[in-house]
């Protein structure tokens, strides 16, 4: 029952701690203890490899949880980001109303995302995927302004609509299979069952990729990200962009690599259409981020671009592509989570929302801006940080993929996107540390130290450190896990 404990504990703990009346200091300590216990339970689950099937509807329709190598790897990223965000939120949520309600949904969503990682089949994953959506919508609309409600509803409609397309693919995958429907590398489809129906199967699998890709911001279902991120509290934005959006990536990997199998899609219109959409999304997201002046909205467009790096790598349908995508998943989770926390720090300390207001901020918040600088360099792709390693692996996989023009077009788009990423992130760094002329009488304000509480700076520094660790040891970790 260990998998159920890892999933249910944060749900129950988050609700109880939020609902019971107590002093805020005591409540904060209990939230921290609940986070530590959740981390411990998940680590024990990864080590034990225990499986459980709590609900059986029929012989092939059941809820089942079991940690495999892929799920364990993604779960590590989930634990890192949620733990960092919870610590950060202890301080940040002091400026927000109804913090207990926020933490309640945060912990419940954590349990749902752990369920996504531990799911042993598509039906279980789909259920946890939908619960994750429903429990993260309140995080977006937390401030209850007109804009936040509109952003949350847009996120809900896009996500539920996309998930229904994913469910269509799940239904046909189960229909064209026999025997066990548990995830297995190479898939479990029975060719004798879909013989003569290949066109239908390819069509629904493409619909599933688009549907689950909605959570990951794949064009044309990307519109919810720039609407939801600017209106959500910074901890929610960090989770949505850093790891919740990766649930769509996990669902696509499970559908294509561990259920249907890649052989039915390789070299078909599905692969080329998928690759085309990912490259279009990479370029479009980078261009929109380059033009955007609101900090959190710029980071949201950046997320659209950067997650499609992962989807492009997966669309190559090779072991090398999967490895590059997984490296970028971990590196981007840490980097983008850190960037949104930094953006939240600007709001918390100064009420800053626009890029033009950040001139000279590095003199007042050197630790915060160094965290911003390190993770920005990672997203650009500067060695020895995570972004360089993952982009190198993705480009190498593309060049040797045998996909015709995409062998060249893929790396070219990645390079153009890297230049644009430098344009919309590193220009902030330069303006922050080298503001140039400062108006007379404002020197003292510019250079006065204004770093926030360690509750905010330590999580940001930890996430920046993860980008360094992944850049140096990422391939060794994947090799150790057999990925």
- Contact call for residues 311 and 327 (beta carbons, < 8 A): no
Residue 83 phi/psi, 5° resolution? -65, -45
Confidence of residue 168 (pLDDT cuts 50, 70, 90): very high
pLDDT of residue 358: 87
Cα 344 to Cα 237: distance, rounded to the nearest angstrom: 9
pLDDT tens figures, 325-335: 999 999 999 99
Q: Do 391 and 309 contact (CB within 8 A), yes or no? A: yes
pLDDT confidence band for 147 (50 / 70 / 90): confident
In which band, very low, low, confident or very high, does the pLDDT at 450 lie, cut at 50, 70 and 90?
confident
Average pLDDT over the chain reads 90
CB–CB of 365/460 below 8 Å? no
280-299 residue pLDDT tens: 999 999 999 998 899 999 99
pLDDT for the residue numbered 439: 53
| pLDDT classification of 440: cutoffs 50, 70, 90 | very low
Asked if pLDDT for residue 477 goes beyond 80, the answer is yes
The residue-averaged pLDDT of 137-159 equals 89
Q: What is the pLDDT of residue 54?
A: 84
Tens digit of each residue's pLDDT (9 = 90 or more) over 90-102? 999 988 888 899 9
Residue 443 binned pLDDT confidence (cut-offs 50, 70, 90): very low
Give the pTM. 0.93
pLDDT of residue 417: 93
Q: Summarize the confidence of residues 112-128 as an average pLDDT.
A: 94
**Residue 109's closest CA among 37, 19, 7?**
7
d(CA 137, CA 152): 6
* Neighbouring residues of 250: CB distance < 8 A, sequence distance ≥ 6: 70, 71, 74, 116, 117, 125
CA 36 to CA 367: how far, in whole Å?
26
364-410 pLDDT per residue, tens? 899 999 999 999 999 999 999 999 999 999 999 999 888 889 999 99
User: In which band, very low, low, confident or very high, does the pLDDT at 441 lie, cut at 50, 70 and 90?
Assistant: very low
402: left (phi over 0), alpha (psi -120 to 50) or beta: left
In the predicted model, what is the mean pLDDT of residues 330-355? 92
pLDDT digits (tens, 9 = 90+) for 177-233: 888 888 898 888 988 888 888 999 999 999 999 999 999 888 888 888 888 888 889
Residue 15: pLDDT band with limits 50, 70, 90? very high
């Amino acid at each position: 029952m260990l998998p159920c404990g890892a999933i249910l504990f944060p749900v129950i703990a988050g609700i109880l701690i939020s609902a019971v009346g107590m002093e805020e200091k005591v409540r904060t300590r209990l939230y921290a203890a609940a986070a530590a216990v959740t981390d411990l339970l998940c680590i024990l689950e990864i080590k034990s490899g225990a499986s459980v099937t709590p609900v059986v509807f029929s012989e092939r329709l059941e809820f089942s949880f079991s940690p495999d190598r892929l799920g364990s790897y993604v779960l590590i990223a989930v634990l890192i980001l949620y733990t960092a965000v919870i610590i950060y939120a202890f301080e940040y949520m002091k400026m927000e109303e109804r913090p207990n309600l926020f933490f309640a949904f945060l912990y419940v969503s954590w349990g749902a995302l752990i369920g996504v990682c531990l799911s042993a089949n598509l039906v279980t994953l789909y259920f946890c995927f939908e619960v994750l959506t429903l429990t993260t919508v309140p995080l977006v609309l937390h401030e209850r302004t007109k804009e936040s409600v509109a952003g949350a509803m847009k996120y809900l409609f896009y996500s539920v609509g996309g998930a229904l397309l994913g469910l269509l693919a799940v239904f046909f995958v189960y229909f064209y299979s026999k025997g066990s429907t548990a995830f297995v590398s190479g898939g479990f489809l029975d060719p004798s069952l879909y013989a003569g129906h290949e066109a239908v199967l390819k069509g629904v699998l493409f619909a599933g990729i688009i549907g689950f890709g909605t959570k990951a911001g794949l064009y044309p279902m990307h519109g919810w990200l720039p609407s939801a991120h600017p209106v959500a509290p910074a901890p929610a934005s960090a989770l949505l962009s850093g790891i919740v959006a990766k649930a769509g990536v996990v669902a696509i990997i499970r559908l294509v690599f561990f259920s249907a199998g890649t052989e039915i899609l390789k070299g078909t219109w599905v692969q080329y259409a998928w690759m085309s959409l990912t490259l279009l999304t990479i370029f479009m997201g980078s261009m929109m981020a380059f033009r955007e002046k609101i900090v959190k909205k710029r980071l949201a467009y950046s997320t659209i671009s950067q997650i499609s790096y992962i989807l492009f790598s997966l669309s190559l349908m090779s072991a090398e592509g999967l490895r590059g995508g997984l490296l970028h998943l971990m590196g981007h989770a840490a980097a983008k989570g850190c960037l949104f926390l930094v953006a939240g720090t600007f709001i918390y300390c100064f009420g800053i929302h626009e890029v033009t207001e950040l001139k000279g901020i590095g003199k007042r918040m050197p630790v915060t801006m160094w965290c911003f600088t390190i993770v920005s360099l990672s997203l650009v792709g500067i060695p020895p940080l995570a972004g360089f390693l993952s982009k190198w692996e993705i480009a190498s996989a593309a060049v040797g993929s045998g996909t015709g023009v995409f062998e060249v077009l893929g790396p070219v788009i990645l390079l153009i996107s890297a230049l644009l990423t430098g344009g919309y992130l590193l220009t902030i760094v330069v303006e922050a540390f080298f503001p140039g002329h400062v108006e007379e009488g404002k020197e003292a304000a510019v250079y006065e130290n204004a770093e926030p509480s360690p509750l905010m700076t330590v999580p940001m520094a930890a996430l920046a450190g993860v980008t360094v660790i992944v850049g140096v040891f990422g391939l060794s970790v994947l090799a150790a896990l057999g990925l």
